[in-house]
Amino acid sequence: MGAAAASSLARPAIALGEAKVVIIGGGPAGATAAVQLKRASPKLEITLIETKSKYTSCFFSNPYIGGLVAWGDITHSYAGLASLGIKLIHDAATSVDTHRKLVSFKSKKEIPYDRLVVAPGIDFKWDAIQDYSEDAAEIMPHAWKGGQQLSLLRKKLEKMEDGGTVVIAAPPVPYRCPPGPYERACVIANYLKTHKPKSKVVILDAKMTFSKQAVFVEGFEKYYKDRIELHLSNDIDDHSIARVDTRTGEVTTKAGMSVKAAVANIIPPQTAGLIAVQSGLADNGWCPVKPENFASTLAEHVYVLGDAAIATDMPKSAFSAHSQALVVAADILADLNQKPRETGTYRNTCWSIIAPGDSVKIGADYAPGELPGGKAGLIPSGAFVSKPGESAEVRNATYDEAFTWYPTLITQVFNKTMKFAGNSEAAPVESEQKSP
Ligand code: FAD
């Protein structure tokens, strides 16, 4: 290409290796986008900014907490990304200047971008529960952001005396992994059944209904009768958590119900990851995006995906995050290459363990369309959900599907092969810093 032709290009040309894509967050959203972009266009300069040197996934953390898989099974390095030539910066992004197209770090450095992918997951509304804070979470773990919090919760369960009550505080919508708190109740109750038979789980729920409710309630009854106690909110009683007392273990709901927990798993109300909120990419706590490509509606040349985005009706899951990242990577490549941009379609499936060998699932495909009321959004089709009364063979096959899905996803996200270790040891391998 001649000099005149090159200079007439409105945007950087990836064939010349000039375009810089910066990605904040190395979970299934950000890491997938990085891998897809680099594989498709090796000359593209891809920089992934991630605070942690290793990623311990929330997805499949419930089987870890319940002693069904090992710490090593859910912990992954970024070596596979580095081997592709993706630049890794293990630092906290502290701000984004979307006008000057710059990302700044905790270490005071800054880097420019041509396209920015923001995928920081979630943060918590720390002021929503009286006396719950990052320090309180060391005593009453949320275990909802991966990492060390997961092993903390598991260790507390192991140390708990038989007869103790485990309280799970389930948050209001929207939140990460809608069926997660109920799967967690099942795997903990399953652990208690054999290790602490006099103990029970109490769920205090901010909601009146929840995902896959019919099959969970059937499972509570079938496997954990008198071992799982579910307190949903209703028109009169609001069982959102009002306050906690880390000294006495008491957890109190807005309706005034108080439970003394030997182990409390407090999952607070949530927002998009702080960096997205602080950079002006969020509206009411979550980041609005264009349904056709997950481009931010609030800033040019910025995409927000994964749990931080509010994608109408699409649940916040690793499956969704990965699916969104495939679309985002294709859109960035088409944009930079000045090719036609295709409208994205997405998929989600979310499996939950009721008991070893008995899993259920929910899922749908999503495509951009008009929501009731005329707003643009994602419209589900082909939705499916497990039903009460399914045979043991069906449930067992669903259980196996989930155990096949996880390593398959990890291979795609982190460019590494994995298989389950076949043991379930608990010990974490390294310490980590708190959220940025
Ligand atoms: P994350 O996975 O949270 O990744 C975000 C990354 O960004 C983190 O590594 C974080 O360190 C980094 N980061 C944040 N801020 C900064 C910053 N300022 N600078 C640098 N780095 C930053 N999903 C499923 O599909 N199936 C399941 O079975 C399932 N089970 C779950 C069970 C539980 C108990 C929980 C809590 C969740 C589960 N999920 C499941 C949901 C799934 O974990 C999330 O939806 C998924 O992790 C979202 O991916 P993400 O990339 O958006 O965010």
| Mean pLDDT of the region 189-198 | 97
The pLDDT assigned to 311 comes to 83
The pLDDT assigned to 107 comes to 86
Q: What is the pLDDT of residues 313-341, one digit of tens each?
A: 899 999 999 999 999 999 999 999 999 99
The pLDDT assigned to 422 comes to 76
The pLDDT assigned to 313 comes to 84
| Mean pLDDT of the region 14-25 | 80
- The finding on whether 141 has its CB within 6 A of some atom of ligand 1 is no
Spatial separation of the C-alpha atoms in residues 316 and 175, rounded to whole Å: 7
Tell me the average pLDDT of the chain.
93
- The finding on whether 58 has its CB within 6 A of some atom of ligand 1 is yes
Q: Distance, CA 58 to ligand 1 centroid (Å)? A: 6
Q: What is the pLDDT of residues 238-289, one digit of tens each?
A: 999 999 999 999 999 999 999 999 999 999 999 999 999 999 999 999 999 9
| Mean pLDDT of the region 62-74 | 96
**For residue 55, which phi and psi values (nearest 5 degrees)?**
-105, 120
Per-residue pLDDT band at 17 (split at 50, 70, 90): low
- The finding on whether 119 has its CB within 6 A of some atom of ligand 1 is yes
Tell me the sheet residues that pair with 413: none
Q: What is the pLDDT of residues 344-395, one digit of tens each?
A: 999 999 999 999 999 999 999 999 999 988 989 999 999 999 999 999 999 9
Q: Distance, CA 306 to ligand 1 centroid (Å)? A: 8
Question: Model's pTM, two decimal places?
Answer: 0.95
pLDDT at 7 over 80: no
| Mean pLDDT of the region 35-43 | 96
Q: Whose CA is nearest to atom 38 of ligand 1?
A: 59
Q: Distance, CA 392 to ligand 1 centroid (Å)? A: 31
Q: Which atom of ligand 1 is nearest to the CA of 94?
A: 18
Q: What is the pLDDT of residues 295-313, one digit of tens each?
A: 999 999 999 999 999 988 8
- The finding on whether 239 has its CB within 6 A of some atom of ligand 1 is no
| Mean pLDDT of the region 165-178 | 98
- The finding on whether 28 has its CB within 6 A of some atom of ligand 1 is yes
CB distance 94 to 436 below 8 Å = yes
pLDDT at 432 over 70: no
Q: Which atom of ligand 1 is nearest to the CA of 105?
A: 19
Give me the residue label for tokens 């009706």.
Answer: 313
pLDDT at 233 over 50: yes
- The finding on whether 144 has its CB within 6 A of some atom of ligand 1 is yes
CB distance 191 to 227 below 8 Å = no
- The finding on whether 51 has its CB within 6 A of some atom of ligand 1 is yes
pLDDT at 429 over 80: no
The pLDDT assigned to 215 comes to 98
- The finding on whether 359 has its CB within 6 A of some atom of ligand 1 is no
Q: Whose CA is nearest to atom 16 of ligand 1?
A: 120
Strands 45-49, 87-89: parallel, antiparallel or unpaired by DSSP? Answer: parallel
Per-residue pLDDT band at 156 (split at 50, 70, 90): very high
Q: Which atom of ligand 1 is nearest to the CA of 320?
A: 25
Q: What is the pLDDT of residues 77-134, one digit of tens each?
A: 999 999 999 999 999 999 999 999 999 998 889 999 999 999 999 999 999 999 999 9
- The finding on whether 59 has its CB within 6 A of some atom of ligand 1 is yes
The pLDDT assigned to 434 comes to 45
Q: Whose CA is nearest to atom 18 of ligand 1?
A: 93
- The finding on whether 315 has its CB within 6 A of some atom of ligand 1 is no
pLDDT at 428 over 70: no
The pLDDT assigned to 312 comes to 82
Q: Distance, CA 350 to ligand 1 centroid (Å)? A: 14
